[in-house]
A and B are shown apart, each in its own frame.
Chain A
Amino acid sequence: MLSRPTTEQILLDCCRELMTNVLPSLTDATAQVSVIMVETVLRNTAVRAGHEVAWMREETAEIEDYARAVAEQAPGTAPLEAALAALAGAPRDSLHLDDVVETYCRAGNALSAALETAVAGGLAALVRRGEEILDVRSGHETEVMAGWSPTGR
């Protein structure tokens, strides 16, 4: 397959085309807003395309360690154990995007159950560690936002 320019570079080039050649020629306000939104979505997608597989795999590893640590501190928590079992059965060896996403979603469910368990159980150190994992996830989402700000009103 052709690999250079990268997906990120191709999408950013589409953004440039929209903003320099398409948007200035539009007079309809609704169409202008649509183009601005599309350009934003493409910039978001460019960032995702550049990093999403690596980010999801890195986060999944951290989450699994964390969820197992919570499960050790709160044994017998059924939703957490079920989520960890589901994660163990995920297609984790594949790098195809759908498989990475499926594994990441199952890890997300394990993290949800682990956080609920840690907060409800007053496991302060594990709550803090869980917050750090959420911070990493949030940091990635912020990078994807690529400087987004609300428009349209």
Chain B
Amino acid sequence: MTDEPQLQKFLDHVAAGRGGTVTMLRPISGGYSRLSALATVRWADGSEETFVLRSDPPPDTGVFDSDRDSEWRLLEAISGKLPIHTPTPRWYDPTGQHLGSKCFIVDFFNGRPLSDIAQDPGELPRAAQIFVDTVAEVHRTPLDVLPPALERPADWDSYIEDLVEHLGRLDRDIADSNPALHFVAAQLAAHRPPPVPLTFVHGDAQPANILVPDHGPVLMIDWEFARVGDPREDLGYYSHLPVPPNLYEADPAGFLARYRERTGLTEEQVNEDTVSYFYVLGMARLLGQMFEATDALARGQSRGVMATYMMNGISATTTAFVEVARQLAH
């Protein structure tokens, strides 16, 4: 994690003429993947700004892996282009030369996490509306604003085929076997949902990643898993997220009706069954990373306690996948 002298030196380098002084730096706890910190800087003209630092954990630690270069390029590309706010990019240390590891700095946004708002039972309907509307806005993003390097699948059919094959291959290169995945992949291949246009997908769409200000558009954070994909992946991913209250589980019919209204997709395309289907595909990448982390330990390379702790997540997720596959078949 970056310390104050490192950040001070970095600011002296990237904002040399502004005379900034770091007055506060503290870690933000709670994330599963990246390391985050909050920093306040006083500039020579007397103004003060607060920033969020987002950095890679030390090499070969942790469970979930993502590419900071890609996330930074994406943030730069979409900044100001979406109807919702995205973190305003300020500086990036792409090598870790200054800040200790790859780390980018964005403006702090003064908003309350939607997950906190949803804790008030009286606010549940409003929280669900904000969540659905935000995700729908992401899915309406014109693809031409995205960085050229962001992969564009050739078409829906081949994209889904690749995802299903990927699911069935998750245990191919690890020491353990997982027959449940092969059963699920076979059932998903046999029961495809109707196609929809591929869109920009957040990849970790959940209320904790939406900050709600007192006035104006919300800000969505944590774009590390963003991609072009099937928009139902975001719905499916969130539908089973075990962080209460789950805004989808509270009222699936109302949740999906609003999403259809916002996106123009049909009930045949977006319903509880298709959401379950995409729960599996939306989670497959992260499940793969959980397998890789536990497999590292099986090969004698510890990734820290989070990896072994998340074996429970593997069990819970594969059990839920089998239930979805069974429903699809019957």
Partners in one complex: yes
Which A residues contact B (CB, under 8 angstroms)? 29-30, 33-34, 37-38, 40-41, 44, 105-106, 108-109, 111-113, 115-116, 119-120, 127, 130-131, 134, 137-138, 141-142, 144-145, 148-150, 152-153
Pick out which of these stretches binds chain A: B6-14, B177-185, B275-283. Answer: B177-185
Given contacts A108-B179, A119-B187, A148-B312, contact A131 B326 (CB under 8 A): yes
A138 touches B309 (CB 8 A): no
Give B1-51 interface residues, CB cut-off 8 Å to A: 27, 29-32
B305 touches A34 (CB 8 A): yes
**16 A-B pairs (CB sep. < 8 Å):** A30-B27, A41-B305, A106-B177, A108-B178, A109-B177, A109-B179, A111-B179, A115-B179, A115-B182, A116-B182, A116-B185, A127-B329, A134-B179, A138-B322, A141-B315, A152-B306
Alpha-carbon distance between A20 and B111 when the two chains are bound, in angstroms: 38
Chain A neighbourhood of B309, CB < 8 A: 37, 40-41
Chain A neighbourhood of B179, CB < 8 A: 108-109, 111-112, 115, 134, 137
Give B303-319 interface residues, CB cut-off 8 Å to A: 305-306, 308-309, 311-313, 315-316, 318-319
Chain A neighbourhood of B31, CB < 8 A: 153
Give B159-206 interface residues, CB cut-off 8 Å to A: 168, 171, 175-183, 185-187, 190
Q: How large is the interface on B (under 10, 10 to 19, 20 to 34, 35 or more residues)?
A: 35 or more
A134 touches B186 (CB 8 A): no
Interface of B is mostly: helix
A30 touches B315 (CB 8 A): no
A137 touches B32 (CB 8 A): no
Chain B neighbourhood of A112, CB < 8 A: 171, 177-179, 181-183
Q: How far is the CB of A28 from chain B (nearest CB, A)?
A: 10
Given contacts A37-B306, A131-B326, A134-B180, contact A30 B311 (CB under 8 A): no
Interface of A is mostly: helix
Chain B neighbourhood of A40, CB < 8 A: 309, 312
Chain B neighbourhood of A37, CB < 8 A: 305-306, 309
Alpha-carbon distance between A130 and B329 when the two chains are bound, in angstroms: 13
Q: Within the complex, which residue of A29, A119, A144 is in contact with B183, where a contact is CB–CB below 8 Å?
A: A119
Given contacts A30-B29, A142-B315, contact A130 B183 (CB under 8 A): yes
Residue of A whose beta carbon sits closest to that of B175: A105
Given contacts A138-B322, A153-B32, 16 further A-B contacts (CB under 8 A): A34-B305, A41-B308, A41-B311, A108-B179, A111-B179, A112-B177, A112-B183, A116-B168, A116-B182, A119-B187, A134-B322, A141-B318, A148-B312, A150-B242, A150-B243, A153-B30
